[in-house]
A = this chain, B = another copy of it.
Amino acid sequence: MSLGIVILAAGKGTRMKSALPKVLHPLAGKPLLGHVLDTATSLKPDTIVVVYGHGGTTVQATFPDPNIQWVEQTQLLGTGHAVQQALPKLQTVDQILILYGDVPLINTDTLQQLIDRSITNTALGLITIKFADPTGYGRIVRDAVGNILRNVEQKDASIDELTINEINTGIMTAKRQHLGSWLNRINNNNAQGEFYLTDCIGLAVADGIKIISAKPKCTEEILGVNDRIQLGTLERYVQKKYAVELMHNGVTIMDPTRFDLRGTLQTGKDVSIDVNIIIEGNVVLGDNVSIGPNCLLRNCTIGANTQIYANSIIENSSIAESVRIGPFARIRPGTTIAELVHVGNFVEIKNSHIGIGSKVNHLTYIGDSEIGNAVNIGAGTITCNYDGAYKHKTTIGDNAFIGSNVALVAPVQIGVDATVGAGSVITQDTPDAKLILARSKQQVIEDWQRPKKSSKK
């Protein structure tokens, strides 16, 4: 039994008031359509067809997966019409599932159960749910013994039908041959003048096909995103869910309502995450890692027992075990930090390696550098890596001591065990184990007067 999935993603999304196609707006750091595609993929279908309209080329460019088939719906004539456009790509599948690019949180298990039961019963399968306030949704009309008769849209519903609180989510599965037959027969004689996919329900009943329904595990599974308020609601729902899952797995999160995960997070044992943290991309935190408040971690690995203090930012870098970083540190892409390193406040490190046990504690810029083990970098040290045209490398040997306010003009090498005096500008490579100075003589100017503010201005 082969499965084809159609994802309807052609809606204009006018209420988003955005130049970005609606299905590309991010939820937890991933486009809405990306969530649906991931769920679709998890069902192991033979074919996935995305029906696009508005902003189509941008949408395709965002998902360069060759396994996705793209169909353009040039005229927006309704959901039934949209699915019909996709059918030519689905001639080899037995069963079709219809999803929506703006309903991002539908769950794999919910769908798998719906598909399995539909196949077993040769039925049309629907996801339905009861809403206390069903206003605006299509209602599910059942007969006296509970069999589904049809779906009626809000605008076409009678007064009695408007009191029904079981609504149709639009998520549907059926045999390909059934669906094709129904879509050939639906019309647009309704308030909107559109071809409704949901009219298939009445046709199925007329054909004597059984209709089954399944419920999602939670309401959020079937919520659509039509404006940024709905997007924000789902964002907070997802974030709270992520936080609770992590806490369940043994992570301390100081405030699950102030936690944002926009990617994936792997955690060791006894990880502690303070308030207002943002995780982006793929982040791995080892055992006993603690992350202070207001930190931003993006695509990085943090080794066991490492502590990241408040207000630090780490991007595309790898931090080893038992390191201390921050507060107010920024580790930029391409950096590897070895065991036992200390990186302190107002320090920027970019595209560099810091060796075991080295210290870069204060007001320093390290760029394009290879720093050995047990090196001490004094406060205010700057690697001058840019000559106005090219970037150059600074290399510092093990156990070197760089005094404060030193400028290291790259390309330059500092020897093993070397000591560079405070305030020196180093432009030439230095030998091992020597003191290197570039310093003017201190002098007292005897007859100088400091400017004074004139009493009258």
CB distance from A304 to the nearest CB of B (A): 12
Interface size class of chain A, counting residues whose CB lies under 8 Å from the partner chain: 35 or more
Contact flags A220-232 to B (C-beta < 8 A → 1, else 0): 0000000111011
The verdict on A165 contacting chain B, using a C-beta distance below 8 Å, is: no
Residue interface mask A369-388, B partner, CB < 8 A = 1: 00000001011101110111
Whether A235 and B250, one on each chain, are in contact in the complex, defined by CB atoms closer than 8 angstroms, is no
Instruction: Identify A401's interface contact among B231, B388, B407, B409, CB under 8 A.
Output: B388
Judge whether A16 is part of the interface by a CB distance below 8 angstroms. Answer: yes
CB A268 to nearest CB in B, in angstroms, measures 11
**Bound: A4/B16 CA distance, A:** 43
Is A252 a contact partner of B228 (Cβ separation < 8 A)?
A: yes
A276 touches B293 (CB 8 A): yes
User: Are B345 and A348 in contact (CB-based, < 8 A)?
Assistant: yes
Q: Is the CB of B422 within 8 A of A407?
A: yes
In the complex, A456 has a CB within 8 A of chain B:
no
A447 to chain B, nearest CB (A): 9
Given contacts A25-B252, A437-B445, 9 further A-B contacts (CB under 8 A): A255-B260, A275-B276, A293-B296, A384-B404, A388-B419, A389-B452, A425-B440, A438-B439, A439-B440
- How many identical chains are in the complex? 3
| Known A-B contacts A376-B386, A422-B409, A453-B390; A244 and B269 likewise in contact (beta carbons under 8 Å) | no
- Nearest-Cβ distance from residue A160 to partner chain B, whole angstroms: 31
Contact of A231 among B252, B431, B439, B451 (CB under 8 A): B252
Question: Residue A65 at the B interface, CB < 8 A?
Answer: no
A427 within 8 A of B: yes
Bound state CA distance, A455 and B440, in angstroms? 34
| Shortest distance between the CB of A288 and any CB in chain B (Å) | 8
For A437, the chain B residues whose CB sits under 8 A away are: 440, 442-443, 445
- Return chain B residues, CB-CB under 8 Å to A162: none
Q: Report if A149 contacts B (CB, 8 A).
A: no
User: Inside 8 A of A254's CB, which chain B residues have their CB?
Assistant: 232, 235, 260
What 0/1 pattern do residues 413 to 432 of A give for CB contact below 8 A with B? Answer: 00001010111111110110
A438 touches B440 (CB 8 A): yes
Q: Is B388 a contact partner of A376 (Cβ separation < 8 A)?
A: yes
Residues of chain B lying within 8 A (CB to CB) of residue A227? 247-248
The reply on A242 being an interface residue by CB < 8 A is no
A30, CB-defined interface residue at 8 Å: no
Q: Are A235 and B255 in contact (CB under 8 A)?
A: yes
- A-B residue pairs in contact (CB < 8 Å), sample of 10: A232-B255, A328-B328, A346-B346, A378-B382, A380-B407, A384-B404, A389-B450, A422-B427, A425-B439, A440-B440
**Would you give the 0/1 interface string for A243-269, flagging 1 where the beta carbon is closer than 8 Å to chain B?**
010011111111111101000000001
Which residues, 290 to 326 on A, are CB-close (under 8 Å) to B?
293-294, 296, 310-311, 313
Q: State whether the Cβ of A214 lies closer than 8 Å to any Cβ in chain B.
A: no
Knowing A310-B313, A404-B407 are in contact, say whether A379-B389 is a contact too (CB < 8 A): no
Instruction: Tell me if A17 and B249 are in contact (CB < 8 A).
Output: yes
- The docked-state distance in angstroms from the alpha carbon of A348 to that of B361 is 10
- Mark out the residues of chain A between 199 and 229 whose CB falls within 8 Å of any chain B CB in the assembled complex: 227-229
A390 touches B232 (CB 8 A): no
The residues in A between 264 and 288 inclusive whose CB is less than 8 angstroms from any CB of B are 269-270, 274-276, 278
Most chain B C-beta atoms within 10 Å of own C-beta, residue among A389, A425, A431, A436: A425
CA distance A437 to B278 in the complex (A): 44
Contact of A436 among B252, B257, B442 (CB under 8 A): B442
Which residue on B lies nearest to A19, using beta carbons?
Answer: B270
In the docked arrangement, what's the CA distance between A408 and B437, Å?
15
B407 and A407 form a contact (CB under 8 A):
no
Contact between A434 and B448, CB atoms less than 8 A apart: yes
